[in-house]
Amino acid sequence: MTGQNTRDRGSHTPSVAWSQRMIRNLLYGRNVDRAAKARVRVGLVIIAFGLIYAVIAARLVMFAAFPDDRGGHRTASQDAIATARPDIVDRNGQILATDVKAPSLFGEPRRIIDRDEAVELLTATLPDLETAEVRQRLGTRKGFVWLKREITPSQQKEIHNLGIPGIGFLRENKRVYPSGREVAHLIGLVNIDNQGIAGMEKWLDSNGLADLHRAGFATDRLQKPVELSVDLRVEHALRDELVKAKEHYHAKAASGLVSNVRTGEIVAMVSLPDFDPNNPKEAHDPDRINRLTTGVYEMGSTFKAFTLAMALDSGKYDLNSMWDARAPLHFGRFTIHDDHALGRFINMKEVFTYSSNIGAARIALAMGVEAHKAFLRKLGQMDRLRTELPESAAPILPRQWGELSTVTIAYGHGIAVAPLQAVMGIDALVNGGWLIPPTFLKRSEADAMKLAKRVIKKETSDKMRFLLRLNAEVGTARKADVKGYYVGGKTGTAEKVIHGRYAKKRVLNAFTAILPADNPQYQLLIMLDEPQPLKETHGFITSGWNAVPTGGKVIARIAPLLGVQPRFDLPPSERLILAASRTAQ
């Protein structure tokens, strides 16, 4: 046994110890000369120093690439916080929102040598930093804490020059909005982590962007711009005129919207007061809501367009049907009056151009409550309107809808809808009878027709275009009849409900216009909240004295931008619209 173990050890020993024996022999062997030993020793020293220098060089390269080794790793995680977002552009490619890189200040409490000195220096350089908060954050044992997000390059330079150990910077994505307030309510904004919290920014997150970020695929290079339907030029003109109107008529608020009646695209949308998305604090003011999608209002006499369309589309009545407007309409304990009382029977055209409450009420009563409800539901006025914008409100309907509700809703009281909802319904009345869901994304007519539902006959749509144009020729919309653009329109003056009662001196005015009325391409909505009487309005506060002239100024500016060619010496609506409609039939 002993001899066998000795052989086993002898068979393994040469392979294991061969290199060691060779080095040992070279260094210390008695049969090796001194010169050979010296060369080996010098070679080993060179190899050892070479390895040391190689390690040092590798570390220098790493520090050059990543000033802070741990900061390099943190950059990767930071991308998941301040997310990269795609550019948002208008329909002509103008940038509405984009990402830029901005430095943010952080601390590494474990590396802080003198916390008091660090706090004193930082708060002296950045006075808006809370001393107690900075001291508390740097007093933890954490490896990383944020001290201030999104500082300026000059602030970064000042702090860098202080040379405080444990204080550093990371470059983050910061969202900026070059057009500022112009498209504030439409585009929304993001939070400090670049995540959408309102408007189209929030829609982006809820439609795949947040999932892409979680999966790590949403890098700066992979994201294509999001193309909206809005035209920044039209948006600017609309906002500019609304700002002037709000100031001129001393109104509490003003809003406006331009839609493409053939595609449902929203070309411009403004709600004042607005905010600067570059300054998110302003957006939290409750007075700065988007009144066109979040607010719901009684739209006043603009709703008469629905009432008359209902009757005309039924085939039971035509434009010459007569209605008794000789005296106020008594209904229960309520009495319905006309602002422009004619004291006689009036036809359908006069109901519209004189904006007769009595006439509209009698038309709705003749059609019946259920037919009235069914028609408004078909026009999308009874259900909450959903668009890309997350901010939306459901309409307010009567709890018990009887004949009295039908009477008041016929002329725009007793039901409150989002203005964008009303715009969608008017679009259907004038575009040939197609209800098209509105969108804030660019859309072709072919794509729109895939979503469209026919809600009224084409001949009914022709008659509605005639009525709207007639109202601009001889009715309450005359002050918006911009020469060359063949405008059609309907006014609405709704008394506001204050403490449960209608207040005659506090009104919400609306004006909806189409252009051109013989072949509509666009609809414009103007709304003024509580405009005040002026000397030039002879003390009146109704829509025809403020919202309508404002609409006319907007049309004069936006029609050329929208490519609507001016035409002159056009015949009246009776010949240009009705005659053409009869010929086509």
Per-residue pLDDT tens for 115-137? 899 999 999 999 989 999 999 99
Q: Are 299 and 492 in contact (CB under 8 A)?
A: yes
pLDDT band of 253, cuts 50, 70, 90: very high
Q: Are 489 and 548 in contact (CB under 8 A)?
A: yes
Residue 581 has which token pair?
């409609």
Q: Are 446 and 262 in contact (CB under 8 A)?
A: no
Burial of 68 (0-12, 13-18, 19+ CB in 10 A): middle
Amino acid at 49: F
pLDDT band of 12, cuts 50, 70, 90: very low
Burial of 555 (0-12, 13-18, 19+ CB in 10 A): buried
Q: Is 321 a catalytic residue?
A: no
Catalytic residue among 229, 255, 301, 543: 301
pLDDT band of 170, cuts 50, 70, 90: confident
pTM over the 0.85 mark? no
Average pLDDT of the chain? 88
Q: Are 523 and 258 in contact (CB under 8 A)?
A: yes
Q: Is residue 273 predicted with pLDDT exceeding 80?
A: yes
Residue 501: predicted pLDDT? 84
